Amino acid sequence: MLCGLEALGERRIIRLIWEYLDRMPDLALDLGDDVSAVNIGGGRVAVLKTDMLVGETDVPPSMSLRQAARKAVVMNISDFAAKGVKPLAMLVSLGLPRSLSEDDIRDIGAGLGDAAREYSTYIIGGDTNEASDLIISCSLLGFSSEGRIVSRSGAKPGDIVAVTGEFGKTSAGLKILLEGLSAPKEIAEKLKEAVFIPRARLSEGLALSEAGVLSASIDSSDGLAISLYELSDASNVGFIIDHVPIAKEAVRFADIHGLDPYDLGLYGGEEYELIVTVRPQLWEAAERAVADVGGTLIRIGRVIGEKRIELRTDGEIRKIERRGWEHFKIGKLCWHL
């Protein structure tokens, strides 16, 4: 029998808390988008995001502290990327187990520094606490203009659905790290690297926003399938997905273990690609904007008016299910009022 938080479920927890909070007037984004945004006058919008890394649920075995600290930043940057907002500065709140050594602290510092430089932002403060598990809670601040932030809610029937990269490596990597599945060395290294050194698509997100070509956007950190459902709910549309770009290492891994590669690609998580929708007449401009920053925009399907999400490949039609990776991470969800 489920009890406590498990029985409640993440969404219910957030709704319960929401009940007690007053809504701020002048918010610039709807409840439940990737970030919080508030109008601050003069057409400017302040954008905020917080996401907490918890050792037990977010740091798989053999991930280094340096990688964990870097990941804590990437998790936050990815949401700014999806909204096309440049991260200006960041705070980091640390919970540190008493057993950590000086070298451990240095590793955490190095990982935070790595990530800040990688995404051209600065950590300008934080706080340090003793805690029973490793906690790295980042808060990002950025600025945008009124009407400029790409929401989750603007997708329209006929739009093209696209992603910024391939899927499946992280799911496969986590199966190696958490379930002990094996793979040839060179493949295993790549799959584990996807878990240890995730990359946020900030350049792509900023370029797409700059070009003004997106109707909606979300990051895929909860998994491709779940994120499509979130986008579907926010925009009140559905999707026909006719292509799921799965990394060749993930396909190979699926082949070795008799797994469905679509399962790895759709129902993973901890992958920080962007999922965007684009009006057909803006598609070429969108492709070009991403290519100009060294990325690739991959068409995966189209938006439909009916609220269902279907996978149509190899002449077969399947329903994409609303589920993601749950063995590793339970009870994690961001909320924005």
Stretch that binds its own copies, among 4-12, 152-160, 270-278, 316-324 (CB under 8 A): 4-12
CA distance 229 to 208: 22
CA distance 336 to 139: 13
Residue nearer to its own copies on the CB measure, 117 or 308: 117
- CB-CB contact of 60 with 194 (8 Å): no
Residue nearer to its own copies on the CB measure, 130 or 255: 130
| Binder among 30, 43, 62, 127 for its own copies (CB under 8 A) | 127
Stretch that binds its own copies, among 119-127, 213-221, 224-232, 291-299 (CB under 8 A): 119-127
Helix (H, G, I), strand (E, B) or coil at 142: strand
- CB-CB contact of 187 with 251 (8 Å): no
178 binds its own copies (CB under 8 A): no
CA 217 to chain centre: 11
326 binds its own copies (CB under 8 A): no
Binding track over 11-50 against its own copies, x by CB under 8 A: -xxx-xxxxxxxxx--x-------xx-x-x-x---x-xxx
Residue nearer to its own copies on the CB measure, 116 or 226: 116
List the one residue out of 30, 29, 28, 51 whose CA is nearest residue 40.
Answer: 28
Task: Report the nearest approach of its own copies to the CB of residue 191 (Å).
Answer: 25
Task: Please give the residues from 79 up to 118 whose contact with its own copies meets the rule CB under 8 A.
Answer: 88-89, 91-102, 105-106, 108-110, 112-113, 116-117
CA 203 to chain centre: 15
Task: Report the nearest approach of its own copies to the CB of residue 63 (Å).
Answer: 17
291 binds its own copies (CB under 8 A): no
Residues 6+ apart with CB under 8 A from 200: 74, 77, 78, 81, 119, 219, 272
Task: Report the nearest approach of its own copies to the CB of residue 14 (Å).
Answer: 6
CA distance 68 to 90: 17
Binding track over 48-67 against its own copies, x by CB under 8 A: xxxxx-x-xxx---------
| Binder among 118, 123, 203, 296 for its own copies (CB under 8 A) | 123
**Site size with its own copies, rule: CB under 8 A:** 82
Residue nearer to its own copies on the CB measure, 152 or 192: 152
Residue 139, exposed/middle/buried by CB under 10 A (0-12, 13-18, 19+)? middle
Helix (H, G, I), strand (E, B) or coil at 71: helix
| Binder among 30, 43, 62, 124 for its own copies (CB under 8 A) | 124
Residue 141, exposed/middle/buried by CB under 10 A (0-12, 13-18, 19+)? middle
333 binds its own copies (CB under 8 A): yes
Residue nearer to its own copies on the CB measure, 189 or 233: 233
Residue 61, exposed/middle/buried by CB under 10 A (0-12, 13-18, 19+)? exposed
Task: Please give the residues from 135 up to 174 whose contact with its own copies meets the rule CB under 8 A.
Answer: 135, 137, 139, 141, 143
5 binds its own copies (CB under 8 A): yes
Angle at 162 between CA 228 and CA 319, to 5 degrees: 40
